[in-house]
Amino acid sequence: MKLSILFALLPLVSAAPANGRPKPRPAPLKYPGLDVLAKRAGLLYFGTAIDNVVLNNTKYVSIAHNRSEFGQVTPSNGQKWMYIEPERNVFNYSMGDAIVKPGIKAGQMRRCHTFVWHNQLPAWLEKGNWTKAELTKVLENHIKNEARHYYDQCYAWDVVNEAFEDNGTWRDTIWLRVLGKEYIELAFKFARKYASPRTRLYYNDYGIERVNNKSLAVAALVKDYVKRDIPIDGVGLQAHFTVGRAPTYENIKASLNLFIKEKVETALTELDVRLALPDSPEKQAIQAEIYANSTKACVDVSDCVGVTVWDFWDPVSWVPETFPGNGNACLLDADFKRKPAYYAISDMLRSYD
Protein backbone atom coordinates (compact mmCIF):
# COMPACT_ATOMS: atom_id res chain seq x y z
CA MET A 1 0.00 0.00 0.00
CA LYS A 2 1.25 3.49 -0.85
CA LEU A 3 2.82 5.52 1.95
CA SER A 4 0.40 8.43 1.47
CA ILE A 5 -2.48 6.17 2.39
CA LEU A 6 -1.14 6.00 5.92
CA PHE A 7 -2.26 9.60 6.33
CA ALA A 8 -5.88 8.74 5.50
CA LEU A 9 -8.51 9.82 7.97
CA LEU A 10 -8.71 7.01 10.49
CA PRO A 11 -12.48 7.03 11.07
CA LEU A 12 -13.10 6.94 7.33
CA VAL A 13 -11.14 3.79 6.49
CA SER A 14 -11.64 0.30 7.88
CA ALA A 15 -8.55 -1.26 9.36
CA ALA A 16 -6.96 -4.04 7.34
CA PRO A 17 -6.75 -7.49 8.89
CA ALA A 18 -3.47 -9.14 9.82
CA ASN A 19 -2.87 -10.52 6.34
CA GLY A 20 -2.62 -6.95 5.00
CA ARG A 21 -5.57 -7.12 2.62
CA PRO A 22 -8.76 -5.12 2.97
CA LYS A 23 -11.48 -6.96 4.82
CA PRO A 24 -13.99 -8.46 2.34
CA ARG A 25 -17.16 -6.43 2.14
CA PRO A 26 -20.50 -8.14 1.67
CA ALA A 27 -22.26 -7.31 -1.60
CA PRO A 28 -24.47 -9.24 -4.01
CA LEU A 29 -21.91 -9.10 -6.79
CA LYS A 30 -20.74 -11.79 -9.14
CA TYR A 31 -17.31 -10.20 -9.12
CA PRO A 32 -15.48 -8.25 -6.39
CA GLY A 33 -16.42 -4.58 -6.59
CA LEU A 34 -14.10 -1.99 -8.04
CA ASP A 35 -13.24 -0.52 -4.65
CA VAL A 36 -12.24 -3.94 -3.30
CA LEU A 37 -9.99 -4.47 -6.30
CA ALA A 38 -8.58 -0.94 -6.16
CA LYS A 39 -7.55 -1.39 -2.54
CA ARG A 40 -5.87 -4.69 -3.37
CA ALA A 41 -3.97 -2.84 -6.12
CA GLY A 42 -2.73 -0.26 -3.59
CA LEU A 43 -5.21 2.60 -3.97
CA LEU A 44 -7.04 4.21 -1.11
CA TYR A 45 -10.38 4.12 -2.90
CA PHE A 46 -12.35 3.79 -6.11
CA GLY A 47 -15.29 6.16 -5.88
CA THR A 48 -18.13 7.88 -7.66
CA ALA A 49 -19.78 11.27 -7.79
CA ILE A 50 -23.49 11.35 -7.01
CA ASP A 51 -26.00 14.01 -8.07
CA ASN A 52 -29.12 14.77 -6.05
CA VAL A 53 -31.41 14.54 -9.08
CA VAL A 54 -31.34 10.74 -9.04
CA LEU A 55 -31.70 10.03 -5.32
CA ASN A 56 -35.31 8.92 -5.82
CA ASN A 57 -34.11 5.93 -7.88
CA THR A 58 -33.67 3.06 -5.41
CA LYS A 59 -31.68 0.90 -7.85
CA TYR A 60 -29.23 3.73 -8.45
CA VAL A 61 -28.87 4.52 -4.76
CA SER A 62 -28.25 0.87 -3.85
CA ILE A 63 -25.31 0.78 -6.27
CA ALA A 64 -23.98 4.24 -5.40
CA HIS A 65 -23.73 3.34 -1.72
CA ASN A 66 -22.46 -0.19 -2.20
CA ARG A 67 -19.05 0.30 -0.65
CA SER A 68 -17.52 -2.78 -2.24
CA GLU A 69 -18.15 -1.07 -5.57
CA PHE A 70 -17.50 2.53 -4.55
CA GLY A 71 -15.48 3.11 -1.40
CA GLN A 72 -15.79 6.88 -1.69
CA VAL A 73 -18.54 9.28 -2.75
CA THR A 74 -18.49 12.89 -3.94
CA PRO A 75 -21.48 15.24 -4.09
CA SER A 76 -21.26 16.41 -7.69
CA ASN A 77 -23.37 19.52 -7.09
CA GLY A 78 -24.80 19.56 -3.58
CA GLN A 79 -21.88 21.32 -1.89
CA LYS A 80 -21.43 24.10 -4.43
CA TRP A 81 -21.92 27.71 -3.40
CA MET A 82 -25.33 28.32 -5.05
CA TYR A 83 -26.87 25.50 -3.02
CA ILE A 84 -24.95 25.89 0.23
CA GLU A 85 -25.31 29.69 0.58
CA PRO A 86 -28.17 30.73 -1.74
CA GLU A 87 -28.56 34.00 0.19
CA ARG A 88 -25.80 35.82 1.99
CA ASN A 89 -25.10 34.17 5.34
CA VAL A 90 -28.07 31.81 4.90
CA PHE A 91 -26.77 28.26 4.71
CA ASN A 92 -28.57 25.15 3.47
CA TYR A 93 -26.73 21.85 3.72
CA SER A 94 -29.61 19.57 2.71
CA MET A 95 -28.29 18.65 -0.73
CA GLY A 96 -24.78 17.92 0.48
CA ASP A 97 -26.07 16.01 3.50
CA ALA A 98 -28.27 13.85 1.26
CA ILE A 99 -25.09 12.30 -0.13
CA VAL A 100 -22.61 12.66 2.71
CA LYS A 101 -24.81 11.16 5.44
CA PRO A 102 -25.68 7.96 3.53
CA GLY A 103 -21.99 7.71 2.62
CA ILE A 104 -21.08 7.78 6.30
CA LYS A 105 -23.74 5.18 7.08
CA ALA A 106 -22.41 2.94 4.30
CA GLY A 107 -18.84 3.26 5.55
CA GLN A 108 -17.70 5.16 2.45
CA MET A 109 -15.08 7.88 2.41
CA ARG A 110 -16.11 11.30 1.16
CA ARG A 111 -14.40 13.77 -1.16
CA CYS A 112 -16.09 17.15 -0.72
CA HIS A 113 -16.55 19.48 -3.70
CA THR A 114 -16.05 22.49 -3.83
CA PHE A 115 -15.42 25.67 -1.79
CA VAL A 116 -14.38 28.09 -4.57
CA TRP A 117 -15.36 28.00 -8.23
CA HIS A 118 -16.32 30.56 -10.85
CA ASN A 119 -19.50 28.69 -11.84
CA GLN A 120 -22.73 27.94 -9.98
CA LEU A 121 -22.50 31.05 -7.85
CA PRO A 122 -25.66 32.67 -6.42
CA ALA A 123 -26.77 35.95 -7.95
CA TRP A 124 -26.15 37.90 -4.74
CA LEU A 125 -22.48 36.96 -4.94
CA GLU A 126 -21.87 37.10 -8.67
CA LYS A 127 -23.62 40.44 -9.20
CA GLY A 128 -22.42 42.15 -6.03
CA ASN A 129 -20.31 45.30 -6.18
CA TRP A 130 -17.60 44.13 -3.81
CA THR A 131 -14.53 45.75 -2.40
CA LYS A 132 -11.53 43.54 -1.80
CA ALA A 133 -12.05 43.61 1.96
CA GLU A 134 -15.76 42.78 1.66
CA LEU A 135 -15.27 39.85 -0.72
CA THR A 136 -12.46 38.48 1.46
CA LYS A 137 -14.89 38.41 4.38
CA VAL A 138 -17.53 36.70 2.22
CA LEU A 139 -15.01 34.07 1.15
CA GLU A 140 -13.84 33.37 4.68
CA ASN A 141 -17.37 33.24 6.07
CA HIS A 142 -18.50 30.74 3.43
CA ILE A 143 -15.53 28.42 3.91
CA LYS A 144 -15.78 28.72 7.70
CA ASN A 145 -19.43 27.70 7.82
CA GLU A 146 -19.25 24.90 5.26
CA ALA A 147 -16.00 23.49 6.61
CA ARG A 148 -17.36 23.46 10.14
CA HIS A 149 -20.60 21.79 9.07
CA TYR A 150 -18.65 18.98 7.41
CA TYR A 151 -15.88 18.98 9.99
CA ASP A 152 -14.07 15.63 9.99
CA GLN A 153 -16.55 14.22 7.47
CA CYS A 154 -14.38 14.71 4.39
CA TYR A 155 -11.22 12.86 3.45
CA ALA A 156 -10.50 15.77 1.11
CA TRP A 157 -11.91 19.12 0.04
CA ASP A 158 -11.55 20.52 -3.46
CA VAL A 159 -10.70 23.96 -2.12
CA VAL A 160 -10.34 25.75 -5.46
CA ASN A 161 -11.68 24.48 -8.78
CA GLU A 162 -10.55 25.46 -12.29
CA ALA A 163 -8.58 28.66 -11.70
CA PHE A 164 -6.57 28.43 -14.95
CA GLU A 165 -7.40 28.74 -18.63
CA ASP A 166 -6.29 26.00 -21.03
CA ASN A 167 -3.21 28.03 -22.04
CA GLY A 168 -2.03 28.29 -18.43
CA THR A 169 -3.11 31.89 -17.82
CA TRP A 170 -5.37 32.91 -14.94
CA ARG A 171 -9.08 32.43 -15.55
CA ASP A 172 -11.05 35.71 -15.50
CA THR A 173 -13.41 35.29 -12.52
CA ILE A 174 -15.01 37.46 -9.86
CA TRP A 175 -12.34 36.14 -7.50
CA LEU A 176 -9.44 37.19 -9.70
CA ARG A 177 -10.95 40.57 -10.61
CA VAL A 178 -11.62 41.61 -7.02
CA LEU A 179 -9.08 39.73 -4.92
CA GLY A 180 -6.27 39.13 -7.38
CA LYS A 181 -4.22 35.96 -7.71
CA GLU A 182 -3.95 35.63 -3.95
CA TYR A 183 -7.58 34.48 -3.72
CA ILE A 184 -6.39 30.89 -4.10
CA GLU A 185 -3.88 31.32 -1.30
CA LEU A 186 -6.58 32.87 0.90
CA ALA A 187 -8.97 30.00 0.19
CA PHE A 188 -6.41 27.39 1.21
CA LYS A 189 -5.53 29.31 4.37
CA PHE A 190 -9.19 29.63 5.33
CA ALA A 191 -9.78 25.95 4.57
CA ARG A 192 -6.88 24.93 6.80
CA LYS A 193 -8.09 27.24 9.53
CA TYR A 194 -11.64 25.84 9.69
CA ALA A 195 -11.55 22.29 8.29
CA SER A 196 -10.36 19.28 10.24
CA PRO A 197 -6.55 19.14 10.34
CA ARG A 198 -6.84 15.63 8.90
CA THR A 199 -8.76 16.76 5.82
CA ARG A 200 -6.66 16.87 2.67
CA LEU A 201 -6.82 20.19 0.78
CA TYR A 202 -6.83 19.92 -3.03
CA TYR A 203 -6.56 22.12 -6.07
CA ASN A 204 -8.79 20.57 -8.78
CA ASP A 205 -8.81 21.16 -12.56
CA TYR A 206 -9.47 19.65 -15.97
CA GLY A 207 -7.10 19.48 -18.93
CA ILE A 208 -4.03 18.87 -16.76
CA GLU A 209 -3.76 15.17 -17.55
CA ARG A 210 -0.96 15.87 -20.00
CA VAL A 211 2.21 17.87 -19.47
CA ASN A 212 1.13 21.14 -21.09
CA ASN A 213 0.94 24.85 -20.36
CA LYS A 214 -1.96 24.40 -17.96
CA SER A 215 -0.51 21.52 -15.95
CA LEU A 216 2.85 23.31 -15.77
CA ALA A 217 1.10 26.42 -14.44
CA VAL A 218 -0.64 24.39 -11.76
CA ALA A 219 2.62 22.65 -10.87
CA ALA A 220 4.32 26.05 -10.53
CA LEU A 221 1.54 27.21 -8.20
CA VAL A 222 1.90 24.08 -6.07
CA LYS A 223 5.68 24.43 -5.95
CA ASP A 224 5.35 28.03 -4.79
CA TYR A 225 2.79 27.11 -2.12
CA VAL A 226 4.87 24.23 -0.78
CA LYS A 227 7.93 26.48 -0.64
CA ARG A 228 6.02 29.16 1.28
CA ASP A 229 4.14 26.72 3.53
CA ILE A 230 0.74 27.56 2.08
CA PRO A 231 -1.43 24.59 3.10
CA ILE A 232 -2.00 22.39 0.05
CA ASP A 233 -2.05 18.60 0.18
CA GLY A 234 -3.14 17.42 -3.23
CA VAL A 235 -3.97 18.05 -6.87
CA GLY A 236 -7.06 16.59 -8.49
CA LEU A 237 -6.88 15.77 -12.19
CA GLN A 238 -10.51 15.77 -13.30
CA ALA A 239 -9.96 13.41 -16.26
CA HIS A 240 -12.97 14.23 -18.45
CA PHE A 241 -11.92 12.39 -21.60
CA THR A 242 -13.22 11.81 -25.13
CA VAL A 243 -12.92 8.70 -27.29
CA GLY A 244 -10.42 9.58 -30.00
CA ARG A 245 -8.81 12.47 -28.09
CA ALA A 246 -7.89 11.08 -24.70
CA PRO A 247 -4.39 11.24 -23.22
CA THR A 248 -2.43 8.01 -23.15
CA TYR A 249 -1.33 6.06 -20.10
CA GLU A 250 2.13 7.62 -20.49
CA ASN A 251 0.65 11.14 -20.75
CA ILE A 252 -1.35 10.77 -17.54
CA LYS A 253 1.50 9.15 -15.66
CA ALA A 254 3.90 11.96 -16.66
CA SER A 255 1.43 14.60 -15.54
CA LEU A 256 0.77 12.89 -12.21
CA ASN A 257 4.51 12.85 -11.60
CA LEU A 258 4.65 16.63 -12.12
CA PHE A 259 2.77 17.04 -8.87
CA ILE A 260 4.17 14.08 -6.98
CA LYS A 261 7.64 15.59 -7.17
CA GLU A 262 6.26 18.67 -5.38
CA LYS A 263 5.44 16.39 -2.41
CA VAL A 264 1.66 16.50 -2.75
CA GLU A 265 -0.69 13.61 -3.42
CA THR A 266 -2.86 13.31 -6.51
CA ALA A 267 -6.10 11.69 -7.58
CA LEU A 268 -8.25 11.32 -10.68
CA THR A 269 -11.31 13.13 -9.41
CA GLU A 270 -13.96 13.25 -12.16
CA LEU A 271 -13.16 10.45 -14.61
CA ASP A 272 -15.53 9.84 -17.50
CA VAL A 273 -15.04 9.06 -21.17
CA ARG A 274 -17.61 10.45 -23.57
CA LEU A 275 -18.10 9.29 -27.13
CA ALA A 276 -19.78 10.69 -30.21
CA LEU A 277 -23.22 9.19 -30.71
CA PRO A 278 -24.41 6.85 -32.06
CA ASP A 279 -22.59 4.35 -29.90
CA SER A 280 -20.90 1.25 -31.29
CA PRO A 281 -18.93 -1.77 -30.03
CA GLU A 282 -15.80 -0.26 -31.54
CA LYS A 283 -16.23 2.99 -29.63
CA GLN A 284 -16.96 1.10 -26.43
CA ALA A 285 -13.76 -0.89 -26.85
CA ILE A 286 -11.71 2.32 -27.13
CA GLN A 287 -13.61 3.79 -24.19
CA ALA A 288 -12.82 0.72 -22.10
CA GLU A 289 -9.13 1.01 -22.87
CA ILE A 290 -9.10 4.69 -21.84
CA TYR A 291 -10.82 3.95 -18.55
CA ALA A 292 -8.44 1.10 -17.76
CA ASN A 293 -5.30 3.01 -18.76
CA SER A 294 -6.33 6.07 -16.75
CA THR A 295 -6.89 3.98 -13.63
CA LYS A 296 -3.67 2.07 -14.23
CA ALA A 297 -1.70 5.33 -14.40
CA CYS A 298 -2.94 6.23 -10.92
CA VAL A 299 -2.09 2.77 -9.58
CA ASP A 300 1.39 2.95 -11.05
CA VAL A 301 2.31 6.40 -9.71
CA SER A 302 3.33 6.79 -6.09
CA ASP A 303 0.95 8.94 -4.04
CA CYS A 304 -1.91 8.88 -6.55
CA VAL A 305 -4.43 7.82 -3.95
CA GLY A 306 -7.60 7.04 -5.86
CA VAL A 307 -9.99 7.34 -8.78
CA THR A 308 -13.46 8.87 -8.79
CA VAL A 309 -15.80 8.45 -11.76
CA TRP A 310 -18.08 11.41 -12.46
CA ASP A 311 -21.18 9.32 -11.92
CA PHE A 312 -21.50 5.71 -13.05
CA TRP A 313 -24.90 5.62 -14.82
CA ASP A 314 -25.36 7.01 -18.34
CA PRO A 315 -28.83 8.58 -17.86
CA VAL A 316 -27.55 11.02 -15.23
CA SER A 317 -24.26 11.98 -16.85
CA TRP A 318 -23.59 15.67 -17.35
CA VAL A 319 -22.17 14.98 -20.82
CA PRO A 320 -25.19 15.10 -23.19
CA GLU A 321 -26.34 18.49 -21.94
CA THR A 322 -22.86 20.01 -21.99
CA PHE A 323 -21.60 18.34 -25.19
CA PRO A 324 -24.58 17.84 -27.55
CA GLY A 325 -24.13 14.79 -29.75
CA ASN A 326 -21.95 13.07 -27.15
CA GLY A 327 -22.90 10.68 -24.38
CA ASN A 328 -22.68 7.17 -22.92
CA ALA A 329 -19.71 8.30 -20.85
CA CYS A 330 -20.23 6.14 -17.76
CA LEU A 331 -19.54 2.58 -16.61
CA LEU A 332 -23.17 1.40 -16.53
CA ASP A 333 -25.74 1.77 -19.30
CA ALA A 334 -29.37 2.85 -19.02
CA ASP A 335 -30.37 -0.66 -17.89
CA PHE A 336 -27.70 -0.67 -15.17
CA LYS A 337 -25.69 -3.21 -17.16
CA ARG A 338 -21.93 -3.08 -16.79
CA LYS A 339 -20.24 -1.92 -19.96
CA PRO A 340 -16.89 -3.08 -21.35
CA ALA A 341 -15.25 -0.14 -19.56
CA TYR A 342 -16.30 -1.54 -16.19
CA TYR A 343 -14.80 -4.95 -16.93
CA ALA A 344 -11.64 -3.39 -18.38
CA ILE A 345 -11.01 -1.57 -15.10
CA SER A 346 -11.85 -4.70 -13.12
CA ASP A 347 -9.51 -6.89 -15.16
CA MET A 348 -6.71 -4.36 -14.97
CA LEU A 349 -7.00 -4.07 -11.18
CA ARG A 350 -7.10 -7.86 -10.84
CA SER A 351 -3.71 -8.04 -12.52
CA TYR A 352 -2.22 -6.42 -9.39
CA ASP A 353 -3.83 -8.89 -6.98
Active-site annotation, residues: 162, 270
Rounded to a whole number of angstroms, the CA Rg of the chain reads: 19
Strand 326-327 and strand 240-242: the pairing is unpaired
State which amino acid sits at residue 127.
Answer: K
Cβ distance 299 to 43 under 8 Å?
A: yes
Q: Is 325 left (phi over 0), alpha (psi -120 to 50) or beta?
A: left
Cβ distance 239 to 191 under 8 Å?
A: no
Q: Which of 261, 203, 270, 210 has the alpha carbon at shortest distance from 230? A: 203
Q: DSSP of 99-142, one letter per residue?
A: HHHHHHHTT-EEEEEEEE-SSS--HHHHT----HHHHHHHHHHH
State which amino acid sits at residue 229.
Answer: D
Strand 304-309 and strand 156-161: the pairing is unpaired
- Cα(211)–Cα(153) distance, rounded to whole angstroms? 33
